[in-house]
Structure 1
Amino acid sequence: MKVIDFVHNYPDGFGGLDRGMCRVRSFVTDAGTVVLLTELDRKNDGMSVSNAIERIIPDLQKLGIVLGVAIYIDHDERKDPLDDRFEIVSLSSLRGAQWKSISRPAALELLGCEPEELDERSEQNHRIIYRADQLRYSRDPFIDSPWQQSQSTIKRRLEIAESMVSRAEIEELIETGAGEREIQRLLKRDLSIFGEAYAKPDDEYICFAEFPVGDGQVDFVVFTGRSRMDVILIEVKGANFNLLNADHYKAFNHKVNQAAAQIRDRISHIYKGGSSFRDHVHSLRERAESGEQVHSAFVGPYGRLQVDPQKEINIRTVLIGGRTVDDRLESDKRYAFEREMVPPIRVESWDTWVRRLQRP
């Protein structure tokens, strides 16, 4: 017969503070008292039952919750009740805690309860979870809140949001078939849009416009990444043509090929320069991070990139332009184009590119 079923707050061993919890069920059987100690997984904000067992059992005895000799079972719930783990725990002053695994049928026999008692998941028991949350929130009212970012990061996020170009503005230009210069003019108003589209990790980026490379320039560039910096070169064409020609061959529009040729020229200069380009972009990164508006530098919320200037950089290229008519056909063409180009050039229509955006 079950006589106790509650959430026990147990000490963590550091100054005797209550910093862990488990479900305690006590059963009185013909064999005596059997205590089931169930791990509460995500609701347990301290040490696991197994790691704290040498504190939990004496604490239950000291509080008078368990009197006299008892059998203690360490219980770990799984998604399927038939996969639950049960171990009898014994404490010895010489050997400490000792565990002995038992089967679910053996646990049921010891507890003298019906299978439904063990079938119910503790996280589905409203009374148990309600009490566990009470204990957690009493220790930390913001325990389930997102990690609090620094004030400088929050301030920068607010600044970016205030000047953000809306998705609707971009889509309107695309739908009206705007030309290259018109689209570039809008995108230069808010370079965060390229960070949103290409930065990984999210929000760790520095964006530039009209970025000089060799004897020319690249429309937009994104610095992002961790450890090794990603340098993403982006060429932009208008939305006033279809990505593929309407003829039998369905080849890319000549404007796409022109832009690809421009990118190859820039890339050729970069690779011929060896490590000098890597040193150059890291120098620009440091200047942008210090607040200098070099090449219209736009720094993301975190202010700095966690990259190593001694490591090689990853260079990627993107070409955005034209409109999609047949998404499936164009997808195959874009994939083949990227594979055939050395180095690879990713081609996106404005219709596919705008899908990257998360902004309203």
Structure 2
Amino acid sequence: MKTMDIVHNYPDGDSRLKCGLCRVRTFVNEQETVVLLTDLDNKNDGQSVTNAVERIIKSLHQMGIVIGPATYVEHYEKEDPASDTFDIITVSPIDGARWKTISREEALTLLACPSAEVDERSWDNGRIIAQADRLRFSRDPFVDSRYQESHAVIKRRLEIADGMVSKAEIEARINAGVGERDIQGLLKRDLSIFGEAYAKPDDEYICFSEFPLGDGFVDFVLLTGRSRMDVILIEIKGADFNLLNFGHYKEFNHKINQAAGQLRSRLGYIYRDVTPFRDHVHYLRIRAEEGEHVYNAFIGPHLGLQVDPQKDINIRTVLIGGRTVDDREESAKRHDFERSYSPPIRVESWDTWLRRLQRS
């Protein structure tokens, strides 16, 4: 028989200011009192029941919630009740806490309760969730709010938003079939577009335009990543041609092959002696982070990439150009094209590239 069902606010560690939450249910069978301690998963803002079980049991006795001897059962709920775990806990002054796993059937026998009692998920019990939320919000009114970013990051986000080119404007130019220079001019107005499309982690990037490399230039270069820096070379062509030619073989338009040749030439320059190139892009990264507008450097919301200048860099290439006519057919061609180059060159039409953008 169940005699109590509450959310317990237990001390979490040595600090009295820190607490955790668990569901506590007491049952009385023919021989004893059994206390079921159910972890509340994401509603528990402290240590897990497993890590805090000794403090939980002690606090239950100190507060008079449980009086006298009792058997304690630790309980973790899963999506499927049949997968729940149950462990009998014994605590001694010498050995501390010990766990003995029991089956669901053994737990039901010990609790002397119907299966519906443990089949119900705590997150579906409105009363339990309301109790847990009241306790959590009393400690921190903004407990479920998004992490508050620094003033510098917020300021930079607002600056980027003020100068942002809309997806609708880009799409209109592409649908009008404009040439390479027109698209380049539009994208140079807002280099955050490439951070949005390719940066990982999100919002951690530096983008350059008209980047000198070898005996020529790369249209855009994006620096991003953690620990090992990703260097993404981006070459663009216009939207005034179809990605694939019409005809029996439907090969890539000559402008795509021309741009791929340019990228291969740039990659050859890099890979013939990659260490100086790595040192050079890190040098440019530092200059950009210090506020220099070298090669039109544009920094994302988070100033300062968390990358190691002593580690190898990942070099990736992207070629954007042309319009999609048959996405399925072109997808296979793009994959074959990418595999035909070493290192690979990723090809995207303007139609597929637009899908990357999250802005309105």
Q: TM-score normalised to the size of structure 1?
A: 0.96
Aligned twin of 2:285: 285
1:303-318 equivalence runs, <5 A: 303-318=303-318
Aligned twin of 2:221: 221
Q: 2: distance between equivalents of 1:279 and 1:32?
A: 71
Aligned twin of 1:51: 51
Task: State whether structure 2 residue 116 is matched by structure 1 residue 116.
Answer: yes
Task: State whether structure 2 residue 40 is matched by structure 1 residue 36.
Answer: no
Aligned twin of 1:325: 325
Letter in 1 for 2:299: V
Q: 2: distance between equivalents of 1:274 and 1:90?
A: 61
Aligned twin of 2:20: 20
Letter in 2 for 1:133: D
Aligned in 2, Cα 1:68/1:352: closer, same or farther, shift over 3 Å? same
Aligned twin of 2:339: 339
Letter in 2 for 1:352: T
Aligned twin of 2:61: 61
Aligned in 2, Cα 1:262/1:91: closer, same or farther, shift over 3 Å? closer
Q: TM-score normalised to the size of structure 2?
A: 0.96
Aligned in 2, Cα 1:29/1:291: closer, same or farther, shift over 3 Å? same
1:143-222 equivalence runs, <5 A: 143-222=143-222
Which SS does the other structure have where 1:113 is aligned?
coil
Q: 1: distance between equivalents of 2:311 and 2:18?
A: 46
Deviates more, 1:216-225 or 1:6-15: 6-15
Which SS does the other structure have where 1:221 is aligned?
strand
Aligned twin of 1:3: 3
Deviation at 1:346, TM superposition (A): 1.4
Aligned in 2, Cα 1:151/1:247: closer, same or farther, shift over 3 Å? same
Q: 2: distance between equivalents of 1:197 and 1:19?
A: 41
Deviation at 1:58, TM superposition (A): 2.4
Aligned residues of 1:90 and 1:99 also touching (Cα < 8 A):
yes
Aligned twin of 2:268: 268
Superposed CA offset, 1:232-282 (max 9, x none): 111111111111111222111111122112222222222234422111111
Aligned twin of 1:259: 259
Deviates more, 1:296-305 or 1:97-106: 97-106
Deviation at 1:18, TM superposition (A): 5.3
Aligned in 2, Cα 1:163/1:92: closer, same or farther, shift over 3 Å? same
Aligned residues of 1:9 and 1:18 also touching (Cα < 8 A):
no
Letter in 1 for 2:201: P
Deviates more, 1:24-33 or 1:283-292: 24-33
Deviation at 1:102, TM superposition (A): 2.3
Aligned twin of 1:241: 241
Aligned in 2, Cα 1:214/1:13: closer, same or farther, shift over 3 Å? closer
User: Over aligned residues, Cα RMSD in angstroms?
Assistant: 1.5
Task: State whether structure 2 residue 352 is matched by structure 1 residue 352.
Answer: yes
Aligned in 2, Cα 1:8/1:184: closer, same or farther, shift over 3 Å? same
Aligned in 2, Cα 1:23/1:245: closer, same or farther, shift over 3 Å? same
Which SS does the other structure have where 1:356 is aligned?
coil
Aligned twin of 1:135: 135
Aligned in 2, Cα 1:103/1:292: closer, same or farther, shift over 3 Å? same
Deviation at 1:17, TM superposition (A): 4.1
Letter in 1 for 2:212: P
- Percent sequence identity over matched residues? 67
Q: 1: distance between equivalents of 2:84 and 2:335?
A: 48
Letter in 2 for 1:271: Y
Aligned in 2, Cα 1:95/1:234: closer, same or farther, shift over 3 Å? closer
Aligned residues of 1:179 and 1:240 also touching (Cα < 8 A):
yes
Q: 2: distance between equivalents of 1:18 and 1:285?
A: 41
Aligned twin of 1:230: 230
Superposed CA offset, 1:168-198 (max 9, x none): 0010001010011111110110011011111
Aligned in 2, Cα 1:38/1:273: closer, same or farther, shift over 3 Å? closer
Letter in 1 for 2:119: D
Deviation at 1:84, TM superposition (A): 1.9
